[in-house]
Amino acid sequence: MNPQILDKAIRGVLIAIVVLILAFLAIPILIVVPLSFSDSSFMTFPPPGWSMRWYSSFFGSREWLDAAKTTMFVSAGAAVFATPFGVASAYALQHARHWSLKFVQTVLMLPLMVPAIIVSVGVFFAFTKVGMVNTISGLILANAMMGLPYVLITVGADLRTFDSSQELVARSLGMGRFRAFLIVTLPQIKPSVFSAAIFVFIQALDETVIALFVSGGAEQTLTRRMFVTLRDQIDPTIAAISTMLTAITLCLVMVVGITRRSAGRQTQS
Amino acid sequence: MTASADFKHRSNDDSNYKNMSPTVGPREKKSGGESRDDSRVLFFLFVPAVVVVVILLIIPLGWLIWQSFFNAGSFDLENYRRVFSGPYRDTFLLTFQISAIVTILVLLLAYPVAYIATTCTPKWRTAILALVILPFWTSTLVRTYAWLVLLQRTGLVNKGLLALGVIDTPLQLAYNQLGTTVAMVHVLLPFAVLPLFSAMQKIPSNILLAGSSLGGSRFYVFRRVFFPLTMGGVLAGTTLVFVLCLGFYTTPALMGGGKTVMVSMLVGRNIEIYTSWGAASSVCAVLLTFVFAIFYAANKLIPLEKILGTK
């Protein structure tokens, strides 16, 4: 056979395989959407009829709404703390020169390296000692810690490509380091700081394992409630919640994409 | 020394603009142009982040590991004896087995996706990457739920197989090791596609052209030139996926149906149900040792940042 035709045939087969793999990736996420509008409590596909009953079951439930409120508050709180802490660390990592920096960096990446279940045990232990189990502030603190590495990675990458001599000019003209950072550097790395904050928010939205250990009662997060419910039964209300969660996450990721793209254009022009 | 002291003073006090002589020249990277004192100021910037990690993670884990060597107040390796024998050892072995299977499956699926995404037109590339990133950012819990729905007795997969006449009675697909593996592969697949894609993208196309112009067939060039150049991405993906598997909790806990117990669930049960810190601590210590050993070994070949950058 002509080798060119053979190449084309191999590539065709490869493309078919990739299409199947992409379907495997996408279908499970997409299938939840029609199921959430089903009027049947048996999650069969295609749904026998359409209704909004699972959405009203969510919005009519005090417990689910409380959990959603807790999750939103905790995720926002985590972003508020993790972002400045992470940006400060990323900045220092970029500018300080010391033998211990590699060590500090590894310490700050630990929340990402240590398996979530072990982090949860550690956080649970720390919280039992200081009476912060089942508190909102505890959840915010734990999620802020989990978000730190994301800020470090996102903002760190941006700072590495940022021309720091601009800040140096400002400082040589008498500006303090902090002011020079706020006035010269920060406006230019704003897109990555903003994305980092959103990544922390999304990660806190999704966080389940720590919440299982350190939140409970009225202070439970949405994902914890979902997990505990799913342990007993496949509740269709969760299809409605899943659809909304995915929609929120998708919007946030798109916002990040748009800010990044427009930022890219600015630097080009 | 005076210059650096002056500089430190100024960086702390913004209102002092009078002394405006440019005491600090253009800083050259890694030339030591930055003074020691300034480094110390910069170190304060680490304080909030490091304090949070130390208090919430390092001290508790240190205590936990310390605790694992004691039993009823005296030094004793009973906790470790339990880990390396009986049901605990079986759980560790099963966890390694599932992690290995999932990692291999993920790599086999991720490689062609990354390859096609690299070699197709930019428009298709955006579409493929969007389809990879969409699940990447979707909640793990949502994805596990989706698989529970798909794989349950009356789920779409069973219905499809029945309709096609492949099976006569619905198969038990969820709540066992099979369901756990499928859902884990789905959750972790993007973690391998992204590093593979970034490794493949860096390969200059003229290297491949050179290979084929020297008479290599397309497959030969792939095997001898392209594939070896993607090993960094393969290693990053393998490390990340394997480590995430080892400590995975939510998906196996929901999909395993209580029968497929993984190490993470051993930890969870000991704390949640029995509040037995001793038993949980040795399991944590062993799991942590494996995880760090893997990261340490991988770090010898590629920088850790590159591995974790994907996550």
How confident is the model at residue B8, as a pLDDT?
A: 35
| DSSP alpha helix (H) spans, chain A | 3-36, 53-59, 62-95, 101-113, 116-130, 136-161, 165-172, 177-180, 186-206, 209-214, 222-232, 237-268
Cross-chain residue pair A178–B14, CB shorter than 8 Å: yes
Whether the per-residue pLDDT at A23 is higher than 90: the answer is yes
Chain B residue with CA closest to A179: the answer is B14
By Cβ distance, the residue of B55, B142, B247 closest to A32 is B142
Which segment of A85-94, A166-175, B51-60, B241-250 scores lowest on mean pLDDT?
Answer: A166-175
Whether the per-residue pLDDT at B27 is higher than 50: the answer is no
Written as one string, the DSSP assignment of A147-213 is: HHHHHHHHHHHHHHHS-THHHHHHHHTT--HHHHIIIIIHHHHHHHHHHHHHHHHHHHHH--HHHHH
Cross-chain residue pair B304–A227, CB shorter than 8 Å: no
Cross-chain residue pair A118–B53, CB shorter than 8 Å: no
How confident is the model at residue B44, as a pLDDT?
A: 85
How confident is the model at residue B310, as a pLDDT?
A: 60
CA dist., res. A138 & res. A130, Å (int): 10
Range A155-167 average pLDDT: 86
Q: If you ran DSSP here, which 8-state letter would residue B16 be given?
A: -
Q: Which two tokens stand for residue B36?
A: 């020691």
How confident is the model at residue B39, as a pLDDT?
A: 66
Which segment of A44-48, B13-17, B235-239 scores lowest on mean pLDDT?
Answer: B13-17
By Cβ distance, the residue of A25, A84, A96 closest to B186 is A25
Whether the per-residue pLDDT at B47 is higher than 60: the answer is yes
- The set of residues, in sequence order, having a beta carbon less than 8 Å from that of B305 and lying 6+ positions away, is A109, A153
Q: Does B217 touch chain A (CB under 8 A)?
A: yes
What is the overall mean pLDDT for chain B? 83
Q: Which of B211, B266, B238, B220 is nearest to B88 (CA)?
A: B266
- Residue with the bigger pLDDT between A66 and B215: it is A66
How confident is the model at residue B29, as a pLDDT?
A: 41
- The set of residues, in sequence order, having a beta carbon less than 8 Å from that of A35 and lying 6+ positions away, is A43, A45, A47, A236, A239, B149
Whether the per-residue pLDDT at B32 is higher than 60: the answer is no
Whether the per-residue pLDDT at B244 is higher than 80: the answer is yes
Asked if B254 contacts A230 with a C-beta cutoff of 8 angstroms, the reply is yes
Give the B window 97-126 contacts with A, CB below 8 Å: 109, 112-113, 115-116
- Residue with the bigger pLDDT between A99 and A110: it is A110
Cross-chain residue pair B156–A31, CB shorter than 8 Å: yes
By Cβ distance, the residue of A97, A121, A208 closest to B34 is A97
How confident is the model at residue A47, as a pLDDT?
A: 83
Chain A residues touching residue B246 (CB < 8 angstroms) = 115
Q: Which of A115, A146, A106, A126 is nearest to B288 (CA)?
A: A115
Q: Does B268 touch chain A (CB under 8 A)?
A: yes
CA dist., res. A122 & res. A127, Å (int): 9
Cross-chain residue pair B128–A22, CB shorter than 8 Å: yes
- The amino acid present at A59, given as its one-letter code, is F
When pLDDT is cut at 50, 70 and 90, the band that residue B208 belongs to is confident
When pLDDT is cut at 50, 70 and 90, the band that residue B30 belongs to is very low
Chain B residues touching residue A212 (CB < 8 angstroms) = 268, 272
When pLDDT is cut at 50, 70 and 90, the band that residue B23 belongs to is very low
Q: Does B12 touch chain A (CB under 8 A)?
A: yes
What is the overall mean pLDDT for chain A? 88
Whether the per-residue pLDDT at A257 is higher than 90: the answer is no
pTM value is: 0.87
pLDDT tens digit string along B276-303? 787 888 899 999 999 999 999 998 888 8
- The amino acid present at A238, given as its one-letter code, is I
CA dihedral B30, A158, A154, B185 (to 10 degrees): -100
Whether the per-residue pLDDT at A119 is higher than 70: the answer is yes
Whether the per-residue pLDDT at B37 is higher than 70: the answer is no
CA dist., res. B260 & res. B95, Å (int): 9
Range A34-49 average pLDDT: 83
Range A188-209 average pLDDT: 93
How confident is the model at residue B186, as a pLDDT?
A: 95
CA dist., res. B104 & res. B253, Å (int): 21
Q: If you ran DSSP here, which 8-state letter would residue B54 be given?
A: I
Which segment of A149-153, A173-177, B224-228, B261-265 scores lowest on mean pLDDT?
Answer: A173-177
How confident is the model at residue B102, as a pLDDT?
A: 97
How confident is the model at residue B13, as a pLDDT?
A: 37
Chain A residue with CA closest to B24: the answer is A172
Count CB pairs under 8 A between chains A and B.
Answer: 271
How confident is the model at residue B17, as a pLDDT?
A: 37
CA dihedral B222, B228, B232, B237 (to 10 degrees): 60
**Residue B70: its H or E element:** strand B70-71
Range B260-275 average pLDDT: 83
How confident is the model at residue A152, as a pLDDT?
A: 93
Q: Does B272 touch chain A (CB under 8 A)?
A: yes
Range B130-141 average pLDDT: 88
Range A44-62 average pLDDT: 88
From the CA of A269, how many Å to the nearest CA of chain B?
22
Whether the per-residue pLDDT at B183 is higher than 90: the answer is yes
- The set of residues, in sequence order, having a beta carbon less than 8 Å from that of A231 and lying 6+ positions away, is B253, B254
Chain A residues touching residue B290 (CB < 8 angstroms) = none
Q: Of the spans A40-44, A86-90, A131-135, B1-5, which averages the highest pLDDT?
A: A86-90
Cross-chain residue pair B308–A113, CB shorter than 8 Å: yes
